[in-house]
Structure 1
Amino acid sequence: MKNKTQKNRILINKEVYSKEITKKFLKDITEKILSELNLNNVEISITLTDNERIREINKEWRGKDKPTDVLSFPQDETIGYKYRLLGDVIISLPYAKAQAEEIGLTLREEVLRLLVHGILHLLGYDHETNEEDAKIMFDLQDKIFDKLTCEL
């Protein structure tokens, strides 16, 4: 039975297995992030992949022949009358796991952090252009992360 309060379309593609990071977890936490950003009636695609696949995508689209933690591909189109297509967020689960261990987060916390980061990029936030934009993006990212971490 579909949750009637869910107003967004969240598509999940898991190319890698994780008992801890389930499709339900990804949908629920993405819905909470979208709610924090006051976004309704949007469609977003979340893909969990491995380091090799994200390296290929990173090379093809950004010219960087190395794996990374998260990539975002904004769309910002309207689908028919119901959904605004935000775009795609791709996360390397092995990269996220290693990064989580390195910075002292759980895997769920790191996936949350990467989802927030990726979704902010879909909305046009950027941390690579200048320090002021980076501060705005990271402050909002931290605010959402801090609020939602307690719900994991």
Structure 2
Amino acid sequence: MTKVQFNYADRQLRFTGKTAVKSYIETIFKKEKKKLEAISYIFCSDDYLLQINKDFLQHDYYTDIITFDISEPEGGITSEVYISIDRVKDNAIQHGTSFQNEILRVLFHGALHLCGYKDKKSKEITLMREKEDYYINDYLKKHK
């Protein structure tokens, strides 16, 4: 059984190659030398994720991803990652990229957070973007 699950709240994720993406997310953890127990991606709408943002983080704004690390001490990484399909679609249009590239960026972004990468300070953002780009390019090279 895969350690990476795709689940759906009120939106479906529609793109080909989901199995390959799940497998590659496991590869990211291996390359980053982090032990992955389980990661559950939950795809949802803007409104669904906004409510989570308000309830759990006291933030009143839309976001594309919220990552909850629910790992046990001494165990591998266990997490729930909520992704707004609405935000990903809008961001793809805003950044002039395909939906597939943007969903890969967001999926890998969540995994990288769990591997210890941050994105609050300028240097952290730069490193996070470099890692996202590296893994997107590596994935696309292997899955064309």
Indicate the structure with greater helix content. 2
Most deviating of 38-47 and 27-36: 27-36
Q: 1:18 to 1:45 in 2, by over 3 A?
A: closer
- Provide the rounded CA distance (Å) in 2 between the counterparts of 1:101 and 1:22: 21
Equivalent position of 1:72 in the other structure: 67
Match of 1:139 in 2: 130
Three-state SS of the structure 2 residue aligned to 1:108 is: helix
Q: Judge conservation of contact 1:51–1:67 (CA < 8 Å) in 2.
A: yes
1:19 is displaced (CA, Å) by 3.3
Kindly report structure 1 stretches of 4+ aligned residues shifted beyond 4 Å: 38-41
1:95 aligns with 2:87: yes
In the alignment, residue 4 of structure 2 is paired with which amino acid?
A: I
Give the whole-Å Cα distance in 1 for the aligned partners of 2:5 and 2:13: 17
* Structure 1 residues 51 and 42, CA gap change in structure 2 (3 angstroms): same
Please tell me whether the aligned partners of residues 12 and 26 of structure 1 are also in contact (alpha carbons under 8 angstroms): no
Per the normalisation by structure 2, the TM-score is 0.80
Measured against aligned partners, the alpha-carbon deviations of 1:110-132 in whole angstroms (never above 9, x if no partner) come to 1110011111112221111x222
Contact preservation (8 Å) 1:70, 1:91: yes
Given that residues 55 and 68 in structure 1 are in contact (C-alpha distance below 8 angstroms), is that contact kept between their aligned partners in structure 2? yes
Of 55, 72, 83, which residue of structure 1 is paired with 2:50? 55
Q: CA RMSD in A?
A: 2.5
Which residue matches 1:112? 104
Q: Does the 8 Å contact 1:73/1:87 carry over to 2?
A: yes
Partner of 1:121: 113
Structure 1: gaps (5+ residues): 3-7
1:75–1:87: 8 Å Cα contact kept in structure 2? yes
